[in-house]
Amino acid sequence: MNQPTFNIKNNLKEIEEMKAMNLLKNLLPVAAFLLLAGPCAQAQTLRGDFNMDGEIDVSDVSSMIDFLLTGSTGEVTEADRDTIFVEDIPIVMVKVEGGVYCNKTGDTAHVVDDFWIAQTEVTSRLWKIVMELEYPIYPWDDWTARMLFTWYDCQDFIAKLNEKTGRNFRLPKRYEWHYAAAGGRLTKGYLYSGSDNIDEVAWYRGNNNDSRKVASKAPNELGLYDMSGNVQEWCQDSFPADTTGVDASLIAHWLANGSSFQDAEYCETTFGFFMVDNTPQSIGGMRLAF
């Protein structure tokens, strides 16, 4: 009876090839993530901080395994949302899990703590009710993003809103805003907030010339709307104006995002600039945080 031949060398080669193919198959999603992610996410992932929480520990292993199995870095659940009503107007707040943010190669990485941010920009209707105004803010829809105010107008509005709700609302900090716009820990590295195709997620000069109804474009990875385009948004941080090349006796604040009056390049998630608050910024709006 002839015995089957067993070529150890050939079988070992086949086993090694299978291992290599399996390894390659498992690494492809990671490679795709690195290609799609921004420079900061790439740097953090390559150094072992896969979930970008600023630390390298067992949670990074779990995050990588989940990503390899599902192709997803997670999702926002109902437990991550909190809805506060002002009369008939819901303010939907989304929890953003903290992490590390930097906006381009070579930038300092900024640690961002957990925080909550509003799903949409403040609307004309919410502004009118909180400020107890009888006349219409605009001749347009009540659900249009409110604009035409200074950083100090925002602070007055927030003080009245906190009195009405008993909450501790504020403007988002600069790096909180940009971190959330980029998708936080759920980021897919898009150029705009939620897509590389600006027309899917933003009102800007190329498809519009005015502020529009909030949440009428697609959201980003965190379920946030209009983080690219529609109206620019004030952030909480104050800066000496001499850092901006203007009168040092004035105070400047950070204004993030592009608007419906600006070109696509101003709607990228990294865009923002210093603005002195002595006059209303005609395309300035706001989004709540706490």
Which pLDDT tens digit goes with each residue over 150-177?
888 899 999 999 999 999 999 999 999 9
Which pLDDT tens digit goes with each residue over 181-207?
999 989 888 999 999 999 999 998 888
Looking at residue 133, what is its pLDDT? 81
Domain boundaries 78-285, CATH class = alpha beta
Rounded to 5°, the CA angle 239-245-247 comes to: 75
| DSSP β-bridge partners for residue 99 | 112
| Whole-model pTM over 0.95 | no
Which pLDDT tens digit goes with each residue over 76-110?
788 899 999 999 899 999 999 998 887 765 567 88
- Euclidean distance between CA atoms 186 and 70, whole angstroms: 13
Which pLDDT tens digit goes with each residue over 222-231?
999 999 989 9
Looking at residue 49, what is its pLDDT? 54
Query: How much is the average pLDDT of 130-138?
Result: 72
Higher pLDDT, 112 or 100: 112
Looking at residue 115, what is its pLDDT? 97
Looking at residue 57, what is its pLDDT? 57
Higher pLDDT, 77 or 239: 77
Domain segments of the chain as ranges: 8-70, 78-285
- CB contact set of 82 (below 8 Å; sequence gap of 6+): 92, 93, 95, 116
